[in-house]
Amino acid sequence: MFLDPEATQLRVSQKYDREYYFNTVTRESRWDPPTLSPQLGAKHILAKHRGSRRPSSWREENITRSESEAHDIITGYLNDIEQCDNAEDKDKMFGDIAEKFSDCSSAKRGGDLGRFERGAMQKPFEDAVLALKPGEISKPIKTDSGVHIILRTH
């Protein structure tokens, strides 16, 4: 992460003849200027419903379930995950369920959305991530995309 401006140098790419930012601590390079806002990280499981902004997914071309049914599905996944004895097992089960059942294309990565900055996600989703500590799982969250459970990773 580029959180320390003191550790960031502006360099020029020989290959692209373009300036880039290099963090001397993490050894990361990026084209965009560093940000002082910490990045967030999360995995999620999404159940879309017929009222979702795009009621289709990689799993189903035309999603016809109600919002209530989507909420029940997500609640069932959450109950299954909460039965795990430790954080490692919860994380594994979360990823397994996401891969098989999430209506988001992140399913192929076990629901992992990677890192993102504030403002990149829908507000209810971001608010839920911010309310969690890393390793914690949200209650069901409604967004325009559908109903989610979220596991904060960073």
Give the model confidence (pLDDT) of 121-130 as tens digits: 999 999 999 9
Catalytically annotated residues = 44, 104, 122, 145, 148
Helix/strand/coil (H/E/C) assignment for every residue in 26-88: CCCEECCCCCCCCCEEEEEEEECCCCCCCCCCCCCCCCCCCHHHHHHHHHHHHHHHHCCCCHH
Q: What is the pLDDT along the chain (154 residues), one digit of tens a residue?
A: 444 556 788 999 999 999 998 878 777 888 888 766 678 899 999 999 999 999 999 999 999 999 999 999 999 999 999 999 999 999 999 999 999 999 999 999 999 998 888 888 999 999 999 999 999 999 999 999 999 999 999 8
Provide the edge-to-edge strand list for the sheet that holds 18-23.
8-13, 18-23, 29-30
DSSP 134: T
Residue with tokens 């990045």, as numbered in its chain = 39
